């Protein structure tokens, strides 16, 4: 049976950040669903796991970088639900393993490293078929888990929100989570994503295509802000690190430096720039990924020095 206790998915925590527009922020604590399969990773994996079980597949094969929350979550889900797991990792092996990959191996995941040129073929059906031939009867889950089954899961993120709101915000990496959220809103409330990638304008096309494939609709109630990636994926600066530290001190909630931290940084900056209407209510989705902060510590130490 593929299920977790999702009651924590409904927790909305009001964030007290006084501002002249009286904008209210509620953090949707998807990070509390599970210690390892947390946040959007559970939502995106849920129906992929159910499908693998339905097809009687015993092994999951997926893709990610050395610090990938997705790799970490798939490894944990494999152990919890009785699947073998294979992680196709971008780049060369580095020993000792970083905490993300060490945890994944402890969960039973087999790591297979490929160079960056071949890694770019990860969405190519022929390349996936070649991997499947090498590794046996595997169930392939795309990088980040993003496919139509992931959208089905991500669309459930908004199911148990019991207050009226004007905006729902999330970080955007591969586009699966925001696509599911857009699909769930059916053209109603505004959905605002924050790209964690530099030159992320292509994400708007990706998301538009994903939503259309899933719903058959072209909704216009959403956008992706491209201004808060801080230089690119996993790039940070001193001011941002101070922001995350201050948020934890004041609000008592950990943010991750790659996704949710950048979203919150963007939301608060936009409030200060009068982007939102007076008295607007914002739901900000905490997509978990706190495990990735360990891998960022060397960068943080350098900045703080």
pLDDT, tens digit (0-9, with 9 covering 90-100), for 97-110: 999 999 999 999 99
Q: At residue 297, does pLDDT exceed 90?
A: no
Confidence label for 3 from pLDDT (cuts 50, 70 and 90) = confident
The pLDDT assigned to 133 comes to 87
The pLDDT assigned to 305 comes to 73
HEC per residue, 235-286: CCCHHHHHHHHHHHHHHCCCCCCCCHHHHHHHHHHHHHCCCCCCCCEEEEEE
CATH numeric code, 6-35+153-304: 3.40.50.1100
State the average pLDDT over residues 11-31.
Answer: 93
The structure tokens listed for 13 are 């925590």
Angle at which helix 202-215 crosses helix 176-185, to 10 degrees, equals: 50
The pLDDT assigned to 295 comes to 85
Q: At residue 5, does pLDDT exceed 80?
A: no
Coil, strand or helix at 81: helix
The alpha carbon of residue 174 and the mean position of all alpha carbons in its chain are separated, in whole angstroms, by: 8
The structure tokens listed for 237 are 């600066």
Confidence label for 160 from pLDDT (cuts 50, 70 and 90) = confident
**Number of Cβ atoms within 10 Å of the Cβ of 101:** 26
pLDDT tens for 116-158 read 999 999 999 899 989 988 999 999 999 988 999 999 999 999 9
Q: At residue 283, does pLDDT exceed 90?
A: yes
pLDDT tens for 55-72 read 999 999 999 999 899 999
Q: What is the share, in percent, of the chain residues with pLDDT greater than 90? A: 85
Q: What is the mean pLDDT of the chain?
A: 94
Identify the H or E element spanning 2: none
pLDDT tens for 195-208 read 999 999 999 999 99
pLDDT tens for 206-262 read 999 999 999 999 999 999 999 999 999 999 999 999 999 999 999 999 999 999 999
Task: Establish whether domains 6-35+153-304 and 40-145 are of one fold.
Answer: yes
Q: At residue 171, does pLDDT exceed 80?
A: yes
Q: At residue 165, does pLDDT exceed 80?
A: yes
Confidence label for 4 from pLDDT (cuts 50, 70 and 90) = confident
Annotated domain spans of the chain: 6-35+153-304, 40-145
The pLDDT assigned to 10 comes to 72
Question: Whole-angstrom Cα distance, residue 98 to residue 139?
Answer: 26
The pLDDT assigned to 127 comes to 93
The pLDDT assigned to 244 comes to 96
Strands, sheet with 281-286, edge to edge from the N-terminal-most edge strand:
12-15, 24-29, 281-286, 167-172, 190-195, 222-225
The pLDDT assigned to 264 comes to 98
How is domain 40-145 classified at the architecture level of CATH?
3-Layer(aba) Sandwich (3.40)
The pLDDT assigned to 104 comes to 98
Half-sphere exposure for 41 (CA within 13 Å, toward CB): 26
């Amino acid at each position: 049976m593929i299920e977790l206790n999702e009651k924590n998915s409904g927790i909305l925590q009001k964030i007290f950040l006084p501002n002249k527009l009286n904008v209210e922020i509620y953090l949707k604590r998807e990070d509390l669903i599970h210690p390892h399969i947390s946040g959007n990773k559970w939502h995106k994996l849920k129906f992929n796991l159910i499908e693998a079980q339905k097809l009687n597949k015993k092994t999951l094969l997926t893709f990610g970088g050395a610090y990938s929350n997705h790799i970490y979550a798939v490894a944990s889900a494999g152990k919890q639900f009785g699947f073998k797991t294979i992680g196709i990792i971008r780049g060369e092996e580095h020993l000792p393993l970083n905490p993300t990959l060490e945890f994944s191996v402890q969960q039973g995941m087999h790591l297979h490293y490929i160079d960056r040129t071949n890694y770019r073929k990860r969405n190519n059906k022929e390349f996936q078929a070649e991997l499947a031939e090498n590794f046996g009867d595997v169930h392939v889950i795309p990088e980040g888990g993003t496919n139509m089954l992931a959208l089905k899961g991500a669309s459930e993120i908004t199911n148990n929100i019991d207050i009226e709101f004007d905006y729902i915000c999330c970080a955007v990496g591969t586009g699966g989570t925001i696509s599911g959220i857009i699909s769930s809103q059916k053209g109603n409330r505004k959905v605002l994503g924050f790209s964690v990638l530099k030159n992320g304008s292509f994400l708007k096309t990706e998301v538009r295509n994903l939503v259309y494939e899933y719903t058959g609709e072209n909704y216009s109630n959403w956008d992706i802000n491209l201004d808060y990636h801080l230089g690119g994926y996993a790039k940070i600066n001193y001011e941002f690190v101070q922001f995350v530290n201050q948020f934890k001190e004041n609000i008592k909630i950990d943010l991750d430096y790659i996704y949710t931290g950048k979203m919150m940084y963007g939301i608060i900056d936009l409030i200060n720039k009068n982007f939102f209407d007076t008295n607007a209510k914002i739901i900000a989705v905490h997509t978990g990924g706190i495990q990735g902060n360990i891998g960022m510590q060397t960068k943080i130490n350098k900045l703080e020095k």
